[in-house]
């Protein structure tokens, strides 16, 4: 078998974001409420 | 498992209607493609995670404020957001480049300490002392011009006014001073290096 000298393309790897990032996004989404008052959006983050 | 067969557009609608699980399904379905896309441009896992997070924060805000109107094109829309954030990232780093230490690249190759080491400082001081001794050997008129020019940083115009000779004479004296310095250095085989 000949050696393969070419580098693996970055995009071909099965890459995933950190679990913490996904977990943060889901918690953020649950906590966030956006209220629209007279064409203005107000973001409310629940603790 | 049933969520896997639900089209993106329906999941988006569910999420907008308040179903938080729909967002989780959307992220799981596309995280690899989106993160892979970001990483292919950035080639840094931490920064890619940051951009992935910022992308979905935008997605969440847009969906929650009912501003999303591209039904059926969820993935290309998210990709476009991440693409814009990647462009922003490169704009920022162009203004303020960040270097990370890797095996091939050492941060010390671009950072250096220009101050002299103790040994070099001692050599420098010795050279200064030797040079002053040699200058003392020069004829007075040449020594005067050389000291005014090199140590007092005066212009030849100022030197000529102060010594009462023409600029050309001052220039000539400087030239002879340097020639004589070289002669003395060669004659005594003095090494002035640092």
Instruction: Give the domain ranges of chain B.
Output: 2-109, 118-188
Read out DSSP for B135-178? Answer: HHTS-HHHHHHHIIIIIS---HHHHHHHHTS-HHHHHHHHHHHH
Would B2-109 and B118-188 be classified into the same CATH topology?
no
The helix/strand/coil state of A42 is: strand
Residue B108 pLDDT class (50, 70, 90 cuts): confident
Partner residue opposite A36 with nearest CB, options B43, B56, B65: B65
Distance between alpha carbon B155 and the CA centroid of its chain, in Å? 36
Please report, for chain A, how many H helices and E strands are present, in that order: 1, 2
| Dihedral sign for Cα atoms in the order B49, B103, B87, B91 | positive
d(CA B81, CA B119): 57
**Is B147 within 8 Å of chain A by CB?**
no
Answer whether A26 sits within 8 Å of B23, measured CB to CB. Answer: yes
Residues of B in Cβ contact (< 8 Å) with A16: 31-32, 35
Residues of A in Cβ contact (< 8 Å) with B26: none
Counted domains in chain A: 1
Percentage of the residues of chain B whose pLDDT score is greater than 90? 45
Which CATH number applies to B2-109?
1.10.1740.10
Total residues found in chain B within this entry:
194
d(CA B52, CA B85): 9
Q: At the topology level of CATH, where does B118-188 sit?
A: Arc Repressor Mutant, subunit A (1.10.10)
Average pLDDT of every residue of chain A: 80
Q: Predicted ipTM?
A: 0.75
Cα end-to-end span (Å), chain B: 75
Partner residue opposite A17 with nearest CB, options B20, B40, B49: B49
**Is A7 within 8 Å of chain B by CB?**
no
Residue A3 falls inside a structural domain: no
pLDDT in tens, A15-25: 899 999 999 99
d(CA B56, CA B59): 5
Residue A10 falls inside a structural domain: no
- Give the domain extent around A28: 17-45
Residue B188 pLDDT class (50, 70, 90 cuts): confident
- Please give the average per-residue pLDDT across B56-69, as a whole number: 91
Residue A7 falls inside a structural domain: no
Task: Enter the tokens of residue B72.
Answer: 């059926």
Residue A29 falls inside a structural domain: yes
**Is A43 within 8 Å of chain B by CB?**
yes
Partner residue opposite B35 with nearest CB, options A15, A26, A36: A15
pLDDT in tens, B110-168: 677 778 788 888 888 888 888 888 888 899 999 999 988 988 888 999 899 888 899 99
């Amino acid at each position: 078998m000949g050696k393969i000298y070419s580098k693996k393309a970055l995009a071909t790897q099965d890459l995933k974001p950190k679990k913490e990032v996904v977990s943060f996004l889901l918690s953020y989404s649950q906590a966030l409420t956006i209220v629209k008052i007279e064409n203005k959006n107000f973001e409310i983050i629940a603790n | 498992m049933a969520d896997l067969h639900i089209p993106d557009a329906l999941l988006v609608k569910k999420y907008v209607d308040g179903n938080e699980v729909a967002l989780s399904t959307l992220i799981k379905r596309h995280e690899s493609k989106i993160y892979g896309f970001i990483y292919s441009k950035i080639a840094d896992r931490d920064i890619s995670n940051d951009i992935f997070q910022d992308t979905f924060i935008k997605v969440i805000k847009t969906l929650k404020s009912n501003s999303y109107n591209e039904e059926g094109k969820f993935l290309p829309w998210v990709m476009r957001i991440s693409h814009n954030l990647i462009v922003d990232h490169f704009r920022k780093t162009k203004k303020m480049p960040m270097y990370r230490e890797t095996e091939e690249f050492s941060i010390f190759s671009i950072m250096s300490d220009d101050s002299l080491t103790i040994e070099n400082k001692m050599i420098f001081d010795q050279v200064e002392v030797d040079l002053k001794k040699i200058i003392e050997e020069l004829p007075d008129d040449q020594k005067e011009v050389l000291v005014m020019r090199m140590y007092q940083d005066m212009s030849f115009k100022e030197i000529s006014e102060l010594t009462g000779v023409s600029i050309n004479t001052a220039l000539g004296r400087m030239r002879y001073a340097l020639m004589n310095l070289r002669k003395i250095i060669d004659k005594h085989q003095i090494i002035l290096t640092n």
